[in-house]
Chain A
Amino acid sequence: MPSKQELLDLQFIDARHKLIDLAAFLDRIDRHPGTDDFRYAALKAALPILLTDRPDRARAVLDAFSDHSTEPIPKATFQGALGAAR
């Protein structure tokens, strides 16, 4: 198994790139007119998870975006998915 140093050597630049891209996305949303919606709120609510000291941040982020209701719905109003629960 690689060490932390080996993993950083392998993947730090990619992770850095993704973080900058995410920061730029937040800047871009702020800079454009109109209102945001529940998806943007969900994204910002999930961000603090990254800074928690837990071994399953990816799971927690996915949970944060998930629909936690338990009953099947009567009928689909549309076929796609939006990425965050309303």
Chain B
Amino acid sequence: MKYIEPHAHMVSRTTDDYEKLAIAGCEILCEPAFWAGFDRSSAAGFYDYFRQLTDYEPKRAAKFGIKHYCWLCINPKEADDPGFAREVMAIIPQFLDCPNVLGIGEIGLNKNTRNELAIFEEHVQLALDRDLPILIHTPHLEDKLKGTRLILDSLAAFSKLDRSKVIIDHVEEHTISHVLDAGYWAGMTLYPQSKCSPNRAIDMLEIYGTERLWMNSACDWGVSDPLAVPRCMLEMKKRQHTAAAIEQIVYHNPRQFLSQSPKFVS
């Protein structure tokens, strides 16, 4: 069954993973800009990172028949230094016209600081100015509930924001209703220990329905599984979900959201 992986940090994965993704049925993959595992020492580090997202990764993916799209931003972990963050944000516009850039992301919060919130809001304004979709990261573990609430309160102040063009990712059982009730899309991330398991994600699908929801692996340089989405598809099958229902959540939903960018071709 074909599927879309809407959130994978392939810059941190070996080429073997592209092969595995292709074998598993992945047709399209989206890569948000994120933290490298360490704080970059200069804005030039981000310039080269954006080159990798917009030039090298699409070519690497194409060798396996996978279309690669990306999102650009300075990630929340490195946004607590606003001077540095604004230097990086000044670089972003020169990459926004690249053919595989879909929007701004993954912006958000990490430790829920004032500076992170300010830079988050500046990214939202950039997205609004350029009419781009937005992909939002919610904080880890004990910080997630507070961060989700701060993000929602902040977004509510943007009166011109089209909520159908915003996805708030890494939701869990205590944040999903806040996100969906506010009219945004919600992403469930299948990541060991710190985020959802396949069965918990399926529980949330059964409780909340499939509208405005997607699943992703967010595989990165940590212990994570680039095949988390197809593994969840198998669990859905074991729990008697139909092929149509599975395809809805792993292909048609991401395609519906991502097609809001005119660059997205499925």
Query: In the bound complex, do residue B142 and residue A11 qualify as a contact, i.e. CB atoms below 8 Å apart?
Result: no
Q: What is the CB-to-nearest-CB distance from A45 to chain B, in angstroms, rounded to a whole number?
A: 13
- Across the interface, B110 reaches (CB within 8 A) one of A2, A69, A79, A84, namely A79
- Interface of B, secondary structure class, is helix
How many A-B pairs with Cβ below 8 Å? Answer: 81
- 0 or 1 for each of B95-134: is its CB under 8 Å from A? (1 = yes): 0000000000000001111111100000000000000000
- Given A2-B240, A65-B141, A67-B142 in contact, is the A73-B174 Cβ separation under 8 Å? no
Query: In the bound complex, do residue B143 and residue A75 qualify as a contact, i.e. CB atoms below 8 Å apart?
Result: no
Query: In the bound complex, do residue B143 and residue A67 qualify as a contact, i.e. CB atoms below 8 Å apart?
Result: yes
In the complex, B160 has a CB within 8 A of chain A: no
Q: Which of B234-249 contact A (CB under 8 A)?
A: 238-240
Q: Which residues of B contact A81 (CB under 8 A)?
A: 139-143, 194
Q: What is the CB-to-nearest-CB distance from A8 to chain B, in angstroms, rounded to a whole number?
A: 13
In the complex, B211 has a CB within 8 A of chain A: no
Q: Interface size bucket, B side? A: 20 to 34
Among listed B13-21, B145-153, B225-233, interface-contacting one: B145-153
- 0 or 1 for each of B150-173: is its CB under 8 Å from A? (1 = yes): 100000000000000000000011
In the complex, A48 has a CB within 8 A of chain B: no
- Given A63-B174, A82-B142 in contact, is the A73-B240 Cβ separation under 8 Å? no
- Across the interface, A1 reaches (CB within 8 A) one of B117, B143, B200, B240, namely B240
In the complex, B199 has a CB within 8 A of chain A: yes
Closest A residue to B238 by CB, please name it.
A10
- Given A10-B238, A59-B174 in contact, is the A79-B142 Cβ separation under 8 Å? no
A-to-B contact residues, CB < 8 Å:
1-2, 6-7, 10-11, 56, 58-59, 62-63, 65-70, 72-85
The 21 sampled A-B contact pairs (Cβ below 8 Å) are A10-B239, A58-B203, A59-B174, A62-B144, A62-B145, A66-B145, A67-B112, A69-B146, A72-B114, A72-B116, A73-B111, A76-B80, A76-B111, A76-B116, A77-B111, A80-B140, A81-B139, A81-B141, A81-B143, A82-B141, A83-B142
